[in-house]
Structure 1
């Protein structure tokens, strides 16, 4: 038995399942999220708990459920006008501060900065997706090359930031990061529906 125990000790630990942060019920890999609007923090939720926050004002308005909505602007309006130092950025509006924030996925995760109003108004802010954007829980995901403009759930953006952080090597990210980010965009474009014509300018 002593000889066998050394193999048991090297066995990989059983993964701990994710749990709803409200009721502690185990949740699958794909599960709803809630956003704490003042702390801007994501919390995992099971279906029934997330359902409780579908109505505005639930939970004293502190939490909002992240919707599962993916939209695409085929014209990618305003991508070139957005003066940012990187090729991928996601833009979100914080209801607590009233500001537009720009987050850049990279080796540190999501680097955040306030977006000047002129950069928003002359860039993606004049595109059709801007009118659809829900505060706190959705973001405009913009890529410069090839020009891409998507409205996506905010948890997807933080998943992209996690992908970049895990795979980034060197100054420009390297092949692994580029391939992983490209795969993320391929999946996002496959999920997204084109914004209906009647809602385009």
Structure 2
């Protein structure tokens, strides 16, 4: 696990330690990077290295079509650029009965296609970290196929986020690093059996940020290009 992913899943460091580690470094070239930086998906380890903008752009596809990959040296692809766009999917077909059939014990889950495994992986946040759904991958593949956007999600970097709120289920396409940020919040703040006020406040704040960032799908495209990541 890289430092980039580990920081989502561990408790915050004491102030003195945080001050010393404030200047983060690109995990590819060691250049200094700001707090708000880009990530890559390391396909060999399912980790999220923190990278500088020049290194990130090496793995952004020039092709704007859904699922495009960056041009790299021949051989297995190791890295993929994680985009920053959040997409609202208000017409995603998911009823309360559908949600019950997914058998997810919490209100939030996210599913993405893991190219190394060749199948969808569905995870949900828990006090122990990211927990994988026991529902067969075939069932999650059918969920992704329900909407033209999620049917062509780029693997490894974008996930379908499903949330069962008081007004019914809602769906978004979000970057995988945002999903792991949620996992880290739950692990950090959860207390007791029901999580406690602090945990639910953190989850609510995270969801509010997702909603604020979410845009409608780009017309005539099933999935936005990772090349459109925010600068």
Q: State TM-score, norm by structure 1.
A: 0.85
The equivalent position to 1:70 in structure 2, one of 76, 86, 99, is 86
Q: State the 1:67 CA deviation.
A: 1.1
Q: Rg bigger for which structure? A: 1
The equivalent position to 1:15 in structure 2, one of 2, 20, 33, is 20
- Rounded to whole Å, the distance in 1 between the matches of 2:221 and 2:50 is 32
Q: Deviations over 1:151-181 (max 9, x none)?
A: 0111000011111111111112121111111
- Rounded to whole Å, the distance in 2 between the matches of 1:176 and 1:163 is 10
Q: State the 1:85 CA deviation.
A: 2.0
Q: What's the Cα RMSD here? A: 2.2
Q: State the 1:199 CA deviation.
A: 5.7
The equivalent position to 2:158 in structure 1, one of 122, 138, 150, is 138
Which residue in the other structure is 1:155 paired with?
Answer: 177
Q: Deviations over 1:115-134 (max 9, x none)?
A: 42453255343123312411
Contact 2:40 2:81 in 1 (8 A): yes
**Residue 24 (str. 1) matches residue 24 (str. 2):** no
- Rounded to whole Å, the distance in 2 between the matches of 1:24 and 1:154 is 23
Count of residue pairs brought into register by the alignment: 190
The equivalent position to 2:56 in structure 1, one of 50, 67, 71, is 50
Q: Deviations over 1:6-26 (max 9, x none)?
A: xxxxx9353312110011111
Alignment of 1:50-199 (within 5 A): 50-55=56-61, 56-58=70-72, 60=75, 61-78=77-94, 80=96, 81-82=98-99, 83=102, 84-113=104-133, 115-145=135-165, 146-196=168-218
Q: Mark the CA change 1:96 to 1:45 in structure 2 (over 3 Å): closer, same or farther.
A: same
Structure 1 unmatched ranges of 5 or more? 1-10
